[in-house]
Amino acid sequence: MSEVRTGLGWDVHRLAPGRPLILGGVTIPSEFGLEGHSDADILSHAITDALLGAASLGDIGMHFPDSDPAWKGADSARFLAHAARLVRQAGYTIWNVDATVILERPRLKDHRVPMCESIARTLGIELDRVSVKFKTAERVGPVGEGRSAEAQAIVTLAK
Ligand code: MG
């Protein structure tokens, strides 16, 4: 490997009743879900931005503007798959993905494996290269009060 690159991603969406809660392409049973133009999958959005960032290819808003009706209600796996395609076209291999979801409830630990499997499948990488972690915000701030949820991701690419 002659070149190793790292990218950082972060996302936040509001929580609202009656919306689906989709994280890493997996629908989680919940009374509250994430609001947004697309399916509002914060985890997929954070990883998409980390991929784009690692390859210096801009950000998710540049590639998929939320003013574009084509992305209304979009499955964010499409964003993730597109970003993976772009970094491969730029000559990189996706080495690993590590992410954290910060959400007060529901508890997510039982959904870890399906989320990692879904992300690995979408990115076309082995399951052991994907890590997803969960935290609450200890009832503090907008996340802790259940008004929003956040995700952070870091991606390493190699060429
Ligand atoms: Mg987003």
CA 146 to ligand 1 centroid distance, Å: 17
Going from the Cα of 20 to the center of ligand 1, the distance in angstroms, rounded, reads 14
> What pLDDT is stored for residue 1 in this prediction?
65
CA of 82 to the centre of ligand 1 (A): 15
Instruction: Write down all domains in the chain, each with its CATH number in brackets.
Output: 4-158 (3.30.1330.50)
Residue 127 has pLDDT above 90, yes or no: yes
Q: Which residue's structure tokens are 């494996």? A: 113
Q: Compute, in angstroms, the gap from residue 43 CA to the centroid of ligand 1.
A: 8
Q: How far does residue 147's CA lie from ligand 1's centre (Å)? A: 15
Q: What is the pLDDT of residues 82-113, one digit of tens each?
A: 999 999 999 999 999 999 999 999 999 999 99
Is residue 93 within 8 Å of residue 125, measured between CB atoms? no
**Whose CA is closest to 39, among 57, 21, 54?**
21
